[in-house]
Every structure is written in structure tokens, then in C-alpha cells.
Amino acid sequence: MNERVVFLKHRIRTGEHKVLRQGKSIDLLEECEKEGLSWTRRAARLVHRQCEAERVVFEPEERIVFTRTVPGVPPVYSAVDWSRLTAGRTLHELGPVSNICADWDLLLSQGLLGRREVAVNTHSRLEGDASAVEFLDSAVETIDAVLELASRYAEQASLLCRDDLAAVLESVPAHPAHSFREALQSLRMCQAVVWLGGNYHVGLGRFDQYMWPFLQSDLQAGFLTIPDAEELLAEFFISLNKDSDLYPGVQQGDNGQSMTLGGVKSNGSPAINELTKMVLRIACDLELIDPKINLRISPQTDLELLCLASELTRKGLGFPQYSNDDVVIPALVAHGYDLEDARDYVVAACWEFIIPGRGMEIVNSGAVSFPAAVDQAIRVGLSDGMEFDDILSRTAENIRAQVNHLGEVYSRLLLPPTPYYSVFMRGCLEQGHDLSEGLKYNNFGIHGACSANAADALAAVKQFVFDEHSLSAEEVLSALQANFEGYESLRRKLGEEGPKVGSNDDRADALLVNLFEDFAAACEDYGLTPRGGILRPGTGSAMYYIWLASGHEGMREPVVEATADGRVSGEPFSANLAPSPGVRVRGPISTLQSFSKIDFHRVCNGGPITMELSDSVFRNPESIRKVAMLVRIFAQLGCQQLQLNSLNVETLLDAKAHPEKHKNLIVRVWGWSGYFCELAPEYQDHIIARSLYQVE
């Protein structure tokens, strides 16, 4: 990092740019009511007025511009109208379309004027189709708003004699990008406006694919050297961190600005290029929470690339996250995706596999609570004197009921119109329909949360009550009902002596596999949703490892009390695919072997195996190479997704006690990374607890 980049990063981290923010949000309601605008029109007007309200900001030294000054996103309906509009319908999370990915190449290759022309042509073709006309007019209104914003930036740049900047801004985003710098600038502005319109978890897609042609031709023509390109890239990454605190999310940092690197092209040939490596290097230098990086690999991936990626893991940012093309692509094909599209997959905000520009999928439409399904079956089974197989059948029924319930809730899904975001999706402007009406892929994803605790609970009951008869059903039931108070030795037996997921022990792993088979079967049997998609089962748990244990306002799932794996009420569950908290497993290879037993062709929504490595593992290049080998083993074993973290428990404890000394400490939380000191205490504690069982 040179001095300029250090300066720019420092400015963002200290938040000096925030003083430029305006005091309050704009008000749109009166205008919308007066003109009697439709919802689509209101959505367009929102983007229009937000762009108009933006002040032009040039931060000292910066070359990739746009700094958000409008703090909030105002409502387009009054509270009364909003509740009438949404009555009886399901809103996904906060309401607006989120957690999808645009095809940014549409912007870079056509420019906003090119996209506008498409809209105008379709408009004249579909003159009689009122809804198409309205959508296209709205999309054009948003395009014009962004163009106007860009011209104000260009004019200001001229006035300030920043001729280079003025030239870039006169060219993009209006026109197709002609250089790496123009491409970065165009993306920065147009992606930021998606956030301005109230959409969130705005993905960056296959950055090393759509950006590479611009960089490649600049390098070939001698317009850029590698260090110049790295500096521009660093500036772009820094710009992505400017507005993080304005993004909505469960915790700050949960913002879905993820990019996906590597893998194969849509024709199946290798997609790794110089930019893939440059992104890894620059992310390593900058140590910022955005962009969050996913790397697509296979068992054949070059170990040198994995070494570079492991250098990034060493920084403790919690990324890159890996996905295994050899598993993900066939799984997507098995779920109805065209092979070329499947090969083009990216990872959404956390871990779900989606197709840029072609998917209006709700990949995180809630979670099946495995602990709830299992716990209910165990309690009923033990009190009714059932056989173990009956407990398993009851578990399967419970899972099915939860899946059907989620399916039913989401069958009433209401997606707000999103004309601006539609500009960057395949077919919307071409056919005159908003992305909220659906794209090529319209599936829902459901996570299967906290699976390790659930499987361990089943394994303990099977082992001690049914196989060994060393515990009676009554004892276990009373202990559960008493939250193990007065049953400490029984709790220890369940918690420490039972078979556990993560040690390559078939007694526990088979039950884990079974849970996902039941889950996949329930999703398959559910059939199509009213949006014409399927339910995709996944292996993630997002914030559910905390919520299912201690509850959360508005949560649909029940809170689970003490469980038969020896967990007392209130203790968090396992996150994603990880051994239950507090369980001592044989080691990382055994853990990978345990999770490799899941049939990932049936369970394709994503959700990583999550592992903590002590920072001492990263001591020298030789040991970092071994971390790269561990990643390769993950792929060799046929696992789907991996998230590796580097942690030092003393640092975390010190950060909790003295947050002022650790403002820049970044940790992986669930599917995303954030600043440790900006997390709620229960999330901090879970990370500290996780690190106590890490590999040394």
C-alpha cells in the first residue's frame, strides 16, 4: 500500500467523510399521493429523488468517486397505506428485494444509455401493454436520474480542474466502459444507487470475470502497469466501505457486498486470471470488511492460488470462503439450472449459490430448526415409550411440517417493484417486466439450522437409552425438564461421552446425514411455489444459532430449551456445519470427513463447514502451504463450502475488555465479517467460545 491508499483507508476508517452527510432523509409521500403514483412509479421516483438529493463530494486524493450523503431511505407509502397494501402477505425480511446479484456486465458493456435504448425500443414494441409501459417508463426515470447525478459529478470535477475525473465521469456510467478505471467508477456509482433505492445485500458477482477484459486490455496497451491497477483496485475496495454503517443488516457488517472469484467460465474452461490473484492480494493488504470474498475451487485448483488465498485467511478477516465447483455445479443442475448458468454461479450475501442477472430467488426464506424438530421428537418419544426408529420418524414429520409451514408463509410473498435494479437483470428491459415479477430462476432457499447439536442429541439418546440401556428414558426426560439442574453427571455423560458430529464417527454422522435427507425429501415433496420455483434445502444457520437458543422478536421458530446432547437452555447452537459448541473433536480432517457424508447434490442452498484455526498455524510460508492443502482436502473429500477463520483467543478476550484498543479487529460472524467491537455481546461471546476449541 502506498501513502495515498493508506491515507484513503484511514479517512474511511476514522469516518471523516461522515460529516458530509445530510441531516435528514427526503420526504416523498406528498408528491406520490398528489400525483397518485402506482407502486412501480413510486419506486422509480424514490431512486430519482434520492439521486437528486445527493450532494457531489470529492474526497481529497480519491479517483473512484461517489460518497453517499443521503442518510436514509424514505417510505413511499404512509404507514396506513403500507399495512393495507401488505395485509395478508409475507414480506421478506425488511421488504425490499435483497440478496440477489445483478449481471454487472450489462452495465459495463452497454452503459446506462445502452440500457436506456433497450428500454425505449421495448417500449415502442409493447405500446399497448400498460404494465410493460409503466415499468419501462419507470426504469428510464431511474436511468435518467443516475445520468443526471453523474453529470453533476462531472461538472464539479471540471470546475475543480480534476480533468481526469471529469473525463471518466463524462464517459461512465452513461457509456460502455473503455478502461479498468472507467469500469470501476461505473460499477461504484450504479451499485451505490441500488442501496439508495432501499435494496440491500447488493452483490458484486463474478468481479474477476466481468472486470478482467478491461484490465487486460489496459495492461496490454500499456495504459496501466500492475502497480497502477492495484492502486485503482484498492481505491475501489475502500469506496465500498464508505457507507457500511448506513446499510441495513442484523448486525453491522452483515451487508452482502460479496464477490465471487475463480471457478470455471460458462463453457467450462478455467476462469482464474491475473485479476483473481490481484483481488486476493489487495484484500490482504487492505484488511477491510468489504468486499467479502468467495473463491470457487475444485480438487484440481493450483496449490499456489490456494496459498495466496490462505495468506488472506491469515489476516483473520474470515474470508475467502471456498466453494467446490465439482459439487455445487452438478447440484444446481440437479435442481433445474441450465449447465451454462450453473457454471456462472456466485455466492450471495452469506453462502447461497445464485445466478447473476438471472435469479430473483429468496435464498434465505427462514430456517428449519433441527433442534426443535429433534427435541420435540425425543421428548414425546421418551415419554410415550417409542422405539428409536419412531423418534426418527417423528423427527422427519416435524421437519416436514416446518418446511411446509415456511413454504406456505412464502407462498404469500409480496415483492415490491424494483425498476432500477431490473435495469441490470437479464430480460427485464428486453421484455418489459420488473424483476419482482420473476426472472429465469425463482426458487426459495431454506436453511437447515444447527444440525450438529440436533444429530448429537439423537446420537446420545440412541447410544445411552436404546443401545446400552445405561440411562432410562425417565431419567433423561426429567433431566431435560429440569434443565439439568441436579443432573450434572447425567449432563456430562450426554455432553462428553456420546458420539459427536465432527469426529468422523458414523454413529453421529449417520444421524446428521439423515436429518438432511429428511429435509431434502420434504423440500422435494413440496413441489412448486406460486412463483414457479422450488424449495432449496441448505446447510447454513445465519443468526439462528443464537436466535433458536435465546429467542428473538418476530422469530417464527420456537425457542429450544435444554437438549439431549447435554446443552443447557440458553447456550447457543452450532453455526452452519460445525461441531456443537464445546465438543472436543478429533481434528479438522475428521471434521471434513464427517460433513463430507452429507449428500450435497440434494442439499444445494449452501452453508459452509466452519472452522477456526489458531493464528499460530500461519507462522511461516511452509505452514501456510499446509493450510492450502487443508483447503484442497476439503475439495478432495467432496464437501461443498468452507469457511476458515484465523483467531487468537487472547486478542479476542482483550478486545472485549478494551474495545478501544481493537477498533480494527475483524472477525467472521456467520456468513459475513464485521468489526468485533461493533457486535452485540452474545455474538462476541460465541466467537470467543468457538476459538477455545480451535486447531493449534
CA distance 139 to 549: 44
CA–CA distance, 167 with 186 (Å, rounded to integer) = 13
Q: Which is nearer to another protein, 82 or 693 (CB)?
A: 693
The three cell numbers of residue 166 are: 471529469
For the bound state, the minimum distance from the C-beta of residue 462 to another protein, rounded and expressed in Å, comes to: 22
Residue with cell 473463491: 295
Nearer to another protein, 310 or 442 (CB): 310
Positive or negative, the Cα torsion across 668, 671, 674, 679? Answer: negative
Instruction: Specify whether the CB–CB gap between 500 and 568 falls below 8 A.
Output: no
Sole binder of another protein in the list 627, 677, 679, 687 (CB under 8 A): 627
> In which residue are the cell numbers 412464502 written?
410
Please say whether the beta carbons of 140 and 419 come within 8 A. Answer: no
> What number of CA atoms fall less than 13 Å from residue 650's CA on the CB side?
2
For another protein, which is the closer residue by CB, 257 or 593? 593
Specify the residue, 371 or 588, whose C-beta has the smaller distance to another protein. Answer: 588
Site for another protein in 459-518 (CB under 8 A): 496, 504
Binding mask 599-618 for another protein (x = CB under 8 A): ------------------x-
- 390-406 b/e with 16+ CB inside 10 Å = b? ebbebbbebbbebbeeb
Residue of 595, 562, 589 lying closest to 577 (CA atoms)? 595
CB of 606 to another protein, least distance (A): 24
Q: What DSSP line would sit under 251-277, residue for residue?
A: STT----EEEEESB-TTSSB---HHHH
Asked if 101 is part of the footprint of another protein (rule: CB under 8 A), the reply reads no
Contact between 593 and another protein (CB under 8 A)? yes
Q: Which is nearer to another protein, 84 or 492 (CB)?
A: 492
Q: Which of 22, 158, 393, 623 binds another protein (CB under 8 A)?
A: 623
Place of cell 511452509: 622
Closest contact distance (angstroms) between CB of 575 and another protein is 17
Using CB atoms within 10 Å of the CB of residue 79, give its burial: 0 to 12 exposed, 13 to 18 middle, 19+ buried: exposed
Coil/strand/helix, residue 463: helix
User: How many beta carbons lie within 10 A of that of residue 422, not counting itself?
Assistant: 29
CA distance 327 to 498: 31
CB nearer another protein, residue 447 or residue 632: 632
Tell me the per-residue interface mask from 554 to 583 with another protein, x by CB under 8 A, - otherwise: ----------------------------x-
Provide the minimum distance between the beta carbon of 587 and another protein in the complex, in angstroms, as a whole number: 3
Which residues, listed in sequence order, are joined to residue 666 by a DSSP beta bridge? 675
Q: Residue 298 or 504: which CB sits closer to another protein?
A: 504
Alpha carbon distances (Å) from 396 to 385, 435, 444, 454, 511? 18, 35, 20, 12, 12
Amino acid at 307: C
Going residue by residue from 632 to 661, which x/- string records binding to another protein, judged by CB under 8 A?
xx--xx------------------------
Nearer to another protein, 72 or 587 (CB): 587
| Cα–Cα nearest to 347, from 364, 369, 371, 367 | 364
Number of residues near another protein (by CB under 8 A) = 27
Residue whose CB is less far from another protein, 398 or 504: 504
Q: Minimum CB separation from another protein for residue 505, in Å? A: 11
Instruction: Provide φ and ψ at 293, rounded to 5°.
Output: -110, 130
Phi, psi of 99 (to 5 degrees): 60, 40
- List, edge to edge, every strand of the sheet that includes 292-297: 258-262, 292-297, 321-324, 641-647, 609-614
How many Cα neighbours within 13 Å face the side chain of 214?
23
Residue closer to another protein by CB (options 386, 460) is 460
Residue 550 C-beta: closest distance to another protein, Å: 21
Calculate the CA 493 to chain-centre distance: 37
When the beta carbons of 294 and 580 are compared against another protein, the nearer one is 580
**Least distance (Å) from another protein to the CB of residue 645?**
15
| Residue span binding another protein (CB under 8 A) among the ranges 218-226, 262-270, 314-322, 589-597 | 589-597
CB 617 → another protein: shortest distance, Å?
5
Q: How far apart are the first and last CA of the chain?
A: 31
Among 629, 648, 651, 654, binds another protein (CB under 8 A): 629
**586 near another protein, judged by CB under 8 A:** yes
Find the part of the chain contacting another protein (CB under 8 A) among 100-108, 170-178, 548-556, 586-594. Answer: 586-594
Q: State in angstroms the smallest separation of the CB of 559 from another protein.
A: 25
**Which amino acid, 561?**
E
Site mask for another protein (CB under 8 A), range 183-202, x = bound: --------------------
The nearest distance, CB 633 to another protein, in angstroms, is 6
Q: Which is nearer to another protein, 162 or 314 (CB)?
A: 314
How far is it, in rounded angstroms, from Cα 478 to Cα 494? 14
Q: Kindly tell me which of 79 and 657 has the beta carbon lying closer to another protein.
A: 657
Range list of H helices, 418-530: 419-422, 428-431, 451-461, 473-481, 488-492, 506-526
Residue choice 39, 223, 466, 693 for contact with another protein (CB under 8 A) = 693
CB 559 within 8 A of CB 550: yes
Q: How far apart are CA 27 and CA 49, in angstroms?
A: 9
Choice between 132 and 306, CB closer to another protein:
306
Task: Determine if 284 is a binding residue for another protein (CB under 8 A).
Answer: no
Binding region for another protein (CB under 8 A) out of 7-15, 59-67, 98-106, 619-627: 619-627
Of 401, 559, 568, 589, which one interacts with another protein (CB under 8 A)? 589
**Which region, judged by CB under 8 A, interacts with another protein, from 253-261, 324-332, 348-356, 623-631?**
623-631
Segment contacting another protein by CB under 8 A, of 159-167, 332-340, 478-486, 585-593: 585-593
Q: Which helix (H) or strand (E) holds 145?
A: helix 130-159
- Could you tell me which of 535, 568, 532 has the C-alpha nearest to residue 550? 568
* Least distance to another protein, CB of residue 593, Å: 8
Closest approach, Cβ 647 to another protein, in A, equals: 14
Nearest distance in Å: CB 446, another protein = 32
By CB under 8 A, tell whether 584 contacts another protein.
Answer: yes
Alpha helices in 482-560 (DSSP H): 488-492, 506-526, 544-550
Q: How far is the CB of 695 from another protein (least distance, A)?
A: 6
Give me the residue label for grid cell 436506456: 116
In the numeric block, which cell numbers belong to residue 195? 442501496
Residue 21 CB, nearest distance to another protein (Å)? Answer: 44
Nearer to another protein, 239 or 591 (CB): 591
3-state secondary structure of 97: coil
Rounded distance between C-alpha atoms, residue 175 and residue 193, angstroms: 17
Residue 205 or 588: the one with the smaller Cβ distance to another protein is: 588
Binding interface with another protein (CB under 8 A): 496, 504, 582, 584, 586-590, 593, 617, 619-620, 622-623, 626-627, 629-630, 632-633, 636-637, 692-693, 695-696
